[in-house]
Amino acid sequence: MEEQLTLMNEMDRKFRIGDEIEGEIFSIKSDEIVISLVGYKIDGIIPIKELAAQDRVNEVLSNLNIGDKITAKVIKLKNEDNYVVLSRLEYEKEETLFKLEELFKSGENFDVIVKEAKEKGLVAYFNGVRIFIPSSQIDVRYVEDKNALVNTTLTVRLIDFSRENLSKIVASRRVILEEAKLQKEQATWDSLNEGDVVKAEVKRFTKFGAFAEINGVDGLIHLSQISWKHINSCDEILKIGEIIDVKIIGLDKEQKKLSLSIKALTPEPWSVIDEKYTEGSAVLGKVVRINDFGAFVELEPGIDGLVHISKISHDHIKHPSEVLTIGEEVKCIILSIDKENRKIALSIKDAQ
């Protein structure tokens, strides 16, 4: 008798919008799933569009079988066919919102699928719940073509969350990238030592030198450290994007300052001048500077010799530019070498 009364009471229960109901799958149709609600006067249906997020419907359907138990939320008390209309999507949304709230509190990263690019950012979804990623939070740099990210999966972290206002579920990819960048930079700083010779990528030029990157850390190659020869600008020697060998000549890990040198990897030219040049020898060089009293001829990077105006030509000239031009290759005789004062005297006319 008690069992019959209990059953009758259950049969008299009325549904309310938002109730969570557990039932058993009675049949699976192309547009809906019929749910047997044991103990209730009517059965329910779950429209396919209310089964799961659009991108997960097929996956969820493939795992459902007749006789399986399923929990869903009431979204309509009765349709024209006298069924209560249920939504698994709304039930999952509650679960997802709970999960997102936990992710927000813990600061954990998770994956979302980008579905739309808007002027102010990206619209993505996590188990059917909308997640907004502002333009400023997509990357560490400005993303010009947001459409290229549509239908891709991004790893993000929640920076705002509200159950009351779902438009305030906001995520950032930038914070993750910035953390990864900082970790990479710190690992690089920890590994660097003064005197190390490492590979670096030339990134940008300034008037005073070039910046090169070593595993995420920027170092300065001062103009004076690029070559032993005098140069006016970095692009005389270097190219943006090229990989070069550099020596660490200055390292301040606390201030995050790194000084690099290219020329330190080769001997100082004057230190081995005796091994390369002898007085009285003929040598080829390039005219690099001209002034009133003569011309400077580069024998090699860092080694210039002076051809006095009186040693340029057998003919009388008033100015070296009358017979010489910058960049011209000339043959000279070495008249003298003063290693201590770093001076070489040359003669062009004695080589003719």
Q: Look at residue 98 and tell me whether its pLDDT is greater than 80.
A: yes
Distance CA 179, CA 26 (A): 51
Write down the pLDDT at residue 90. 78
- The share of the chain scoring above pLDDT 70, in percent, equals 96
| Structure tokens belonging to residue 252 | 């301040």
Q: How confident is the prediction for the chain on average, in pLDDT?
A: 90
On the question of a common fold for 20-90 and 192-265, the answer reads: yes
The whole-number average pLDDT for the span 90-108 is: 90
Between 328 and 41, where is the model more confident? 328
| Position 13 confidence tier, pLDDT thresholds 50, 70, 90 | low
Q: Look at residue 5 and tell me whether its pLDDT is greater than 50.
A: no
Between 42 and 277, where is the model more confident? 277
Write down the pLDDT at residue 8. 44
Q: Express each pLDDT in 287-331 by its tens digit.
A: 999 999 999 999 988 899 999 999 999 999 999 999 999 999 999
Q: Look at residue 258 and tell me whether its pLDDT is greater than 80.
A: yes
Residue with the two structure tokens 């001829």 = 297
CATH superfamily assigned to domain 107-176: Nucleic acid-binding proteins (2.40.50.140)
The domain defined by 192-265 folds into OB fold (Dihydrolipoamide Acetyltransferase, E2P) (2.40.50)
| Position 3 confidence tier, pLDDT thresholds 50, 70, 90 | low
* Domain 20-90: CATH architecture, name and number where available: Beta Barrel (2.40)
pTM: 0.58
Which parts of 175-281 are beta strand (E)?
197-206, 209-214, 217-222, 243-252, 257-261
Q: DSSP secondary structure string, 2-19?
A: HHHHHHHHHHT----TT-
CB atoms within 10 A of CB 171: 30
HSE-CB for 302 with a 13 A CA cutoff: 16
Short-list 21, 18, 92, CA closest to 54: 92
Write down the pLDDT at residue 306. 95
Q: Look at residue 88 and tell me whether its pLDDT is greater than 70.
A: yes
Write down the pLDDT at residue 147. 94
Write down the pLDDT at residue 127. 84
Q: Express each pLDDT in 194-227 by its tens digit.
A: 999 999 999 999 999 999 999 999 999 999 999 8
The whole-number average pLDDT for the span 26-33 is: 91
Between 346 and 269, where is the model more confident? 346
The whole-number average pLDDT for the span 39-48 is: 86
Asked whether the beta carbons of 283 and 332 are under 8 A apart, the reply is yes
Q: Are strands 44-47 and 84-87 parallel, antiparallel or unpaired?
A: parallel
Q: Look at residue 352 and tell me whether its pLDDT is greater than 50.
A: yes
Helices (H), 203-312: 273-276
Sequence ranges of the domains in the chain: 20-90, 107-176, 192-265, 269-347
| Position 51 confidence tier, pLDDT thresholds 50, 70, 90 | confident
The whole-number average pLDDT for the span 42-70 is: 87
Write down the pLDDT at residue 2. 56
The CA-CA-CA angle for residues 128, 34, 129, to 5°, reads 5
* Domain 269-347: CATH architecture, name and number where available: Beta Barrel (2.40)
| Structure tokens belonging to residue 291 | 């002034």
